[in-house]
Amino acid sequence: FMSIFIPGLTILVYYAMLEPFVGTLTSVKLAMCGGNQNFVWSTDKRRITHLSPTFGGGWEEEEESIKTDAIIEGETIGYGLSIDNARFGVWVSDVTVLRDLDSADLDDLIEEGNEDCVDLSQ
């Protein structure tokens, strides 16, 4: 009786408890560590998301925001999506460009990014 009961109980415990737990841990690993993580991002005062290739990660998700869409898109760069096909963010060449964009005044960003725009009040 014990020669059947112990292996049977072991199999039952494996499929009832361990298998679902391992599946959950695998899903967590993919959610936290999956995709391209070799980029950083910043949002300038115009609320445009700029991204740059690098090493590292970490961000706070905001549901249904273009920033979150850009970051999720950034995670797929190199995994089926190229930088040229990015739709939600502007990729720049270096992390220092992100720092400069982040510290720039809104008026300077608008003037630099929209050279053909003129002030209609003048």
Burial class (CB in 10 A: 0-12, 13-18, 19+), 88: middle
Contact 72, 86 (CB under 8 A): no
pLDDT in tens, 48-93: 788 777 654 455 556 666 677 777 777 777 666 777 777 777 777 7
pLDDT in tens, 9-22: 999 998 998 888 88
